[in-house]
Amino acid sequence: MLLTLVYRSHVSEHVQSASLAGLVTQASFKNELSGITGILLFDGTHFFQLLEGPEDAVDALYYTISQDRRHHNVVELMRDYAHSRRFGNVGMELFDLRSHHEDVVLQAVLDKGTSKYQLTYDDRALQFLCTFVQAREKENYLEILPAGTWSFLPEEQPEAEVEFIFPEMQDYSFAFQPIIDPLSREIISYEATLRGPDGGSPMGYFSKLSRMTIYEADLKSKKLAFALANQMGLNSKTLTVKLLPMTLVMVPGAVEFLIQEITANGLVPEQIVVAITENGVITREDKFNAAMKQLKASGMRLAIDDFGAGSAGLLLLTQCQPDSIMIDRNIICDVHTSGPKQAVVQAIIRFCSSLEISVIATGVEKPEEWMWLDAAGICNFQGELFTTPRVNALPLVAWPEILQEDQLLNQNF
């Protein structure tokens, strides 16, 4: 199958423009051997490359190219399948955008196009190419430092585990993981997630329940979350608890129960963020909306969890106007290398900013993911880069610390 792959990257400081001719001659020779054709654009700072050829060969070459130290911040913009080649005549050709006016370069590039793709502007790959030549979208080229520029230092003293509280609640426990603002070194909230009794998945517990009792169990479990949070000393922090959206519909008096348990444990409703998962199917919309009103009127705040993973996301957002959304980990994973994910995250940031909804990135595991999201404008994060969840205890936070030049030098040896 013929794969078309388009990426952009940032040239490394040590690379001389004069050396690019040699790179392209070699690349062209090698590409022809493996049936790859394409085009390379350079504007003095960024590369833009279109590669087309057999899927396995393009994937293998892209992997090699993305590891090449002559450039960094490599972002895949497009991966698509085609039935014919756009630039089928040559293994690789270089166009330096600094040498000529953009229209001249664009025409020269398009003249190299093969068959019917010549001058076809509605082709996505060619649209990307035009955008690059015309230097549009440059504000979205977020540059990040190498991963090793930061170290992540845990706080010194772990908090002790708290005592188990309710004998009737031995089937499950709660893991706590903070949501943090890493650069302000501030814990925004602690999220309590239901786990099995030994800290594993709670599926064993839930699989024993019928459809109806799942909602009741979901609600009742929050009693333990509030009690544990109280024992741990939540102080003025907020506590985020996940709730299936249908729990609010199916269990009569669900909001009253939450309020009663919050106050019984010395907390106040304003301290509680109820995070509903967007992929929980919502039926009985009228009842759901009534429960939402009641929840908000009580002072509790609302978040949409796993945002972007389900099907109801945007509609649910317009319906219940949450205080915050938690972007799903699958969108966050490798966001620094994926153009489509970057476009989605930037759109989420934009509409949340218009609606004054705060955005939390969850499942952050790599320094580069955090750096890119921070550069895009997100301040609140959750993930194993900073903390590992702890059962019945508050975990330590590994705050980012920028390394000094001498520390960076030591790291390279």
Ligand X SMILES: Cc1cc2nc3c(=O)[nH]c(=O)nc-3n(C[C@H](O)[C@H](O)[C@H](O)COP(=O)(O)O)c2cc1C
Query: What SS3 state is found at 244?
Result: coil
Give the residue from 76, 69, 66, 19 showing the smallest Cα distance to 42. Answer: 19
Shortest reach from residue 33's CB to ligand X, in Å: 9
Q: What does the angle CA 386 – CA 387 – CA 390 come to, to the nearest 5 degrees?
A: 175
Token readout for 172 is 């499950």
> Based on CB atoms, which residue is closest to ligand X, 68 or 143?
68
Burial class of 70 by CB neighbour count within 10 A (0 to 12, 13 to 18, 19+)? middle
Tell me the β-bridge partners of 304. 276, 325
| Mask for 342-381, x = binds ligand X (CB under 6 A) | ----------------------------------------
Q: Which is nearer to ligand X, 38 or 313 (CB)?
A: 38
Helix ranges (H only) for 298-337 are 313-320, 329-332
Nearer to ligand X, 36 or 360 (CB): 36
Can residue 30 be called a binding residue for ligand X (CB under 6 A)? yes
Show contacts with ligand X in window 54-113 (CB under 6 A). Answer: 61, 64-65, 68, 70-71, 92
Written as six digits, the tokens of 265 are 């444990």
Inter-CA distances, 126 with 55, 119, 181, 342, Å: 19, 9, 40, 20
Question: Nearer Cβ to ligand X, position 8 or 296?
Answer: 8
74 versus 272: smaller Cβ distance to ligand X:
74
Name the residue with tokens 């520029």.
149
CB of 17 or CB of 64, closer to ligand X: 64
For the CB of residue 56, give the shortest distance to ligand X in the complex, in Å.
Answer: 15
Do 308 and 344 form a contact (C-beta atoms < 8 A)?
yes
**Shortest Å, Cβ 131 to ligand X:** 18
| One residue of 49, 177, 265, 324 binding ligand X per CB under 6 A | 49
Do 174 and 392 meet the contact criterion of CB atoms below 8 Å apart? yes
To ligand X, the closest distance from the beta carbon of 79 in angstroms equals 16
47 touching ligand X, by CB under 6 A: yes
CB of 138 to ligand X, least distance (A): 18
For the CB of residue 116, give the shortest distance to ligand X in the complex, in Å.
24
Stretch 315-334: interaction string toward ligand X, x if CB under 6 A: --------------------
**Residues 143-172 close enough to bind ligand X by CB under 6 A:** none
Nearest distance in Å: CB 23, ligand X = 6
C-alpha torsion angle, residues 267, 203, 166, 295 (rounded to 10)? 30
Q: Which of 314, 320, 322 is nearest to 249 (CA)?
A: 320
Which residue in the block uniquely carries the two structure tokens 């756009």?
86
The span from the CA of 8 to the CA of 344, in Å, is 17
- Shortest distance (Å) from residue 35 CB to ligand X: 12
Q: Which two tokens stand for residue 189?
A: 């909230």
How many residues sit close enough to ligand X to count as binding (CB under 6 A)? 14
Residue 40 C-beta: closest distance to ligand X, Å: 6
> Which of these, 44, 45, 69, lies nearest to 146 by C-alpha position?
69
Q: Which stretch binds ligand X (CB under 6 A): 24-32, 109-117, 122-130, 231-239?
A: 24-32
Q: Is 387 in the site for ligand X (CB under 6 A)?
A: no
Task: Give the interface with ligand X as residue ranges (CB under 6 A).
Answer: 23, 27, 30-31, 40, 47, 49, 61, 64-65, 68, 70-71, 92
